[in-house]
Amino acid sequence: MKHTFILIISLLLLACLTFSTPNSPNEKENGIAIKAGKIFTVSGNTIENGTILVSGEKILEVGLSDSISIPQDYTVYEYPGSTVYPGIINAMTNLGISGISAIDTTNDYREAGQFNPHISAYTAFYPWSNLIPNARDFGVLTAVTAPSGGLISGKALVANLLGWVPEDMFIKNELALVMNIPEPPSNPRWARFQSSNPADQKEKLEHFISCAYSYYLNSINNPSFPTPNDFDIKYEAMKPTWKDRLPVIISAENEESIKYAIQLGKKFKLNVILKGAYDGEKVLKEIKESGCPVILSSMYGSNSKWEDGVDKIFRLPAALAREGIPFAFTTAGAAGAFDLPLHAGRAVAYGLSQDEAIKGLTLYPAKILGIDQYGSIEKGKIANLVITDGNILENSTLVQHIFIKGIEVTDKSFFQKEFNRAEQKISGEYR
């Protein structure tokens, strides 16, 4: 009996030992807690003196500091005078596929030809671009990278702005198809510089999409389709549009184009996201009915016609907010991608509330782009956090700390490194 008893206890001890093997250094057993003066959850109320608990990549809990108990082994970051925002999402850039504008060999965002659905940004993404850490410095933690040009530019991706190799960064490597509606230039004086007729181009676009649609239908109805003869790489690339309801981001600026884009979506059963929508104010009803959200153009723009008024593009976000149409802010290009919060700030001057502006930087883009684990500070979402010393919509605010997927990013950006070098007058290799 005793021998059995000792045997059972030793077996149990052995079991305990087995199951209490020390953790490998790579596993984060301990979570982190962030305590801050203000937390903008975006999806809920703003919390004064709150705490966020993060375990792994995800947010465990968020609430008033008084009502949250921080587990013992958690690392605590205290930012008493600071504000925490969800990581900002830039809904359309060409970060990672663009370099210096004037040097063509550094730029990969514009492929030749009009129809390129088979071209994907993720195949040419450069994680070591110094524009990426610069964007992080100012709170932009997630960005969409999209090709441009032609009628169908290619496929966009969405990525977190932290990682050594591209796969580390991608959230979705094929986020959406990018399409552009051809239109006459907004200023009739420039009409003579346009090389092709927009009406012709529209016909070609529609024809292409309908061919792609019938290709898709063939492929699901006909098991032997496509034969080597029928195989078309472009139409193959269009299949996810219907198979997986891959969103189609359609750039349309004037009234006619916006209506045409919506109609195109209905006709070919596309999951349409409108981009630009310069004349969106005039077709708010149609946009609302269609259920299409809007990705806005950069707020650093101008009106193209005198009758539109000097504040034409700045009025649009407020108009969309009033109608309950989700919208997202973007910058143009990549070198200015870090400036996104101020674009939202500009819209606030023209009728958009600050709350809606912050939603347009966080919650709404997450919803529009289908990356619902991002965009707000709530339980279960990915811990992308920006800690600032004030209102992120103000241009005097400094971003103090950033967390991407629960890890604090302490890498210095090019901007910061260059400053240190100049301060200490260190010469030599700078990149």
Go through 168-204 and write b for each residue having 16 or more CB atoms within 10 A of its CB, e for each that does not. ebbbbbbbbbbbbbbbeeeeeeeeeeeeeeeeebbee
Nearer to another protein, 67 or 396 (CB): 396
- Find the binder of another protein among 256, 308, 378, 408 (CB under 8 A): 308
Site stretch for another protein (CB under 8 A), options 159-167, 226-234, 297-305, 376-384: 297-305
Site stretch for another protein (CB under 8 A), options 88-96, 148-156, 171-179, 349-357: 349-357
For the bound state, the minimum distance from the C-beta of residue 338 to another protein, rounded and expressed in Å, comes to 8
For the bound state, the minimum distance from the C-beta of residue 121 to another protein, rounded and expressed in Å, comes to 19
Work out whether 128 is an interface residue with another protein (CB under 8 A): no
Work out whether 410 is an interface residue with another protein (CB under 8 A): no
- Nearest in space to 331 (alpha carbons), one of 140, 45, 172: 140
Work out whether 5 is an interface residue with another protein (CB under 8 A): no
Work out whether 100 is an interface residue with another protein (CB under 8 A): yes
Class of residue 239 by CB neighbours under 10 A (exposed 0-12, middle 13-18, buried 19+):
middle
- Find the binder of another protein among 71, 309, 322, 372 (CB under 8 A): 309
Instruction: Return the residue matching tokens 């552009």.
Output: 180
- Nearest in space to 252 (alpha carbons), one of 178, 171, 314: 178
**Residues in contact with 330: Cβ distance below 8 Å, sequence separation at least 6, in sequence order:** 90, 91, 92, 93, 295, 296, 297, 298, 340, 343
Site stretch for another protein (CB under 8 A), options 62-70, 112-120, 157-165, 412-420: 412-420
- Find the binder of another protein among 37, 166, 351, 370 (CB under 8 A): 351
Work out whether 162 is an interface residue with another protein (CB under 8 A): no
For the bound state, the minimum distance from the C-beta of residue 289 to another protein, rounded and expressed in Å, comes to 22
For the bound state, the minimum distance from the C-beta of residue 345 to another protein, rounded and expressed in Å, comes to 3
Work out whether 21 is an interface residue with another protein (CB under 8 A): no
Q: Do residues 356 and 321 make contact, with C-beta atoms less than 8 angstroms apart?
A: yes
By CB under 8 A, the count of residues binding another protein is 51
Site stretch for another protein (CB under 8 A), options 42-50, 89-97, 255-263, 394-402: 394-402
Tokens of 155: 């496929």
- Find the binder of another protein among 354, 367, 378, 407 (CB under 8 A): 354
Work out whether 189 is an interface residue with another protein (CB under 8 A): yes
For the bound state, the minimum distance from the C-beta of residue 249 to another protein, rounded and expressed in Å, comes to 24
Nearer to another protein, 224 or 395 (CB): 395
d(CA 4, CA 7): 5
Work out whether 311 is an interface residue with another protein (CB under 8 A): yes
Tokens of 333: 């290009």
Work out whether 89 is an interface residue with another protein (CB under 8 A): no
d(CA 7, CA 338): 65
Go through 35-64 and write b for each residue having 16 or more CB atoms within 10 A of its CB, e for each that does not. bbbbbbbbbeeebeebbbbbbeebbbbbbe
Q: Do residues 108 and 98 make contact, with C-beta atoms less than 8 angstroms apart?
A: yes
Nearer to another protein, 55 or 90 (CB): 90
Give ∠ CA 72-77-79 in degrees, rounded to 5: 140
Count of H helices and E strands in the chain?
13, 15
Handedness of CA 121, 122, 126, 131 (dihedral sign): positive
Nearer to another protein, 187 or 263 (CB): 187
Crossing angle of helices 354-361 and 312-323, rounded to 10°: 90
- Find the binder of another protein among 306, 410, 428, 429 (CB under 8 A): 306
Q: Do residues 363 and 63 make contact, with C-beta atoms less than 8 angstroms apart?
A: no
Residue ranges that bind another protein, judged by CB under 8 A = 99-103, 131, 188-189, 281, 300-303, 305-312, 314-315, 318, 334-336, 338-339, 342, 345-346, 348-351, 354, 393-398, 414-416, 418-419, 422-423, 430
